[in-house]
Structure 1
Amino acid sequence: MLSAVELFGARPYAEVTVGDLAGAADVTTGALYHHFQNKLGLYRVVRTDVEQRLLDRMTGAAAGRDSFRLRQALVVGFDFAVDNEFTRILGEAAPYADEDRVAEFLSDITRGGTSTGRVLAATWRASVLTVTDAESAAESREVLARLGAAF
């Protein structure tokens, strides 16, 4: 699974092939299909794992004072994604549309509606992707801190 994390972290989902994944893991494509059914199945496992680690950190950060909950969650989540080189995996929208755990979490801690969580999650992802695009992590982090403090 580590090789899948590395590949999905280095390139967009659409650019990673089943052959790339099998080769990096030193298995046959048949073995990959047997265990995960397809590329999306493997991606879902990888993304779920990385997202859970993100949400664990954001939950811990949001346990503080109410006025700082959102700011802390956004910044700690950003730092986690950048420090662990998960910016592409966590910054890109999932290729499946059945759930958005980050949006649900942000909706819960802000006590806002689904739209609030979705807008905040989209903003967080855009900030994370700026680092993937070689822009300043410090500037993106500061924008998230100001957003979280203003909310």
Structure 2
Amino acid sequence: MKEWIPIPGTVKEKLIKVALEEFSLNGFKSVNITKLAEKANTTTGAVYHHFGSKYSLYEVIRTDMEQRIIDRMEGAASLFDQPNKRLEAALITALDFAVKSKICRLLSEDIADYKNDQVKKFIYEFGKDIPLPLEIVIYSSWRYILKAISEDEITYEQGKDLLKWLLKRELN
């Protein structure tokens, strides 16, 4: 069992809920620990007590959201035999979850210390079935589509169409 899963109604749970919202809305760099603690009706000391640092709190949240996405991606991919159909189903399902959960900004951020990107690892696994290292382009496109959606540059539908177009062109 994961040790960071909070008990409902605890300070830790409030901090995670508020931090998820703040990181998703404003991005890692723009989140202020003092304001985050105030929104959670607690102190900055509680943040540091439970998580040690702003980065550690971010890592807990991002890892959890990525795991939720990976679970969905694996389920969607398992429905198809062809690599391009598997990856398309996985990415569209992940995009849908990210948009509905309002975590596009969170997942599109490039945080220098964050090295545990599970979505990247999932996409790179498909590289084994592709003759060229297209997983680099696919992953980069995935992240940029999330960023563009979070900044209202494109719609969810446009993002979905871009992924379909990219996978149709790159994997056939």
Instruction: Answer yes or no: is the 8 Å Cα contact 1:104–1:117 preserved in 2.
Output: no
Q: CA deviation at 1:100?
A: 2.2
The alignment-based identity, stated in percent, is 34
Whether 1:147 and 2:162 are equivalent positions in the alignment is no
In structure 2, relative to structure 1, the CA distance for the partners of 1:31 and 1:117 (3 Å cut) is same
Instruction: Answer yes or no: is the 8 Å Cα contact 2:66–2:117 preserved in 1.
Output: no
Counterpart of 2:13 in structure 1 is none
**Structure 1 or 2: larger helix share?**
1
Whether 1:41 and 2:59 are equivalent positions in the alignment is no
Q: CA deviation at 1:24?
A: 1.6
Whether 1:11 and 2:26 are equivalent positions in the alignment is yes
Counterpart of 1:70 in structure 2 is 87
Counterpart of 2:42 in structure 1 is 27
Cα deviations across residues 33-78 of structure 1 (Å, max 9, x unaligned)?
1111110010000111111101111111111223210111111111
- Tell me which structure has the larger Cα radius of gyration: 2
Q: CA deviation at 1:7?
A: 0.5
> Counterpart amino acid of 2:165?
R
> Counterpart amino acid of 2:43?
T
**RMSD over aligned Cα, in angstroms?**
1.7
Q: CA deviation at 1:116?
A: 4.3
Q: How does 1:34-113 map to 2 (within 5 A)?
A: 34-67=49-82, 68-111=85-128
> Counterpart amino acid of 2:155?
S
Q: CA deviation at 1:30?
A: 0.8
Structure 1, unmatched stretches of 5+, are: none
Distance (Å, rounded) in 1 between the aligned partners of 2:44 and 2:27: 20
Instruction: Answer yes or no: is the 8 Å Cα contact 2:33–2:44 preserved in 1.
Output: yes
Counterpart of 1:124 in structure 2 is 142
Instruction: Give the TM-score normalised by the residue count of structure 1.
Output: 0.90
Q: CA deviation at 1:138?
A: 1.0
In structure 2, relative to structure 1, the CA distance for the partners of 1:24 and 1:145 (3 Å cut) is same
Instruction: Answer yes or no: is the 8 Å Cα contact 1:72–1:148 preserved in 2.
Output: no
Q: Which of 157, 161, 172 matches 1:138?
A: 157
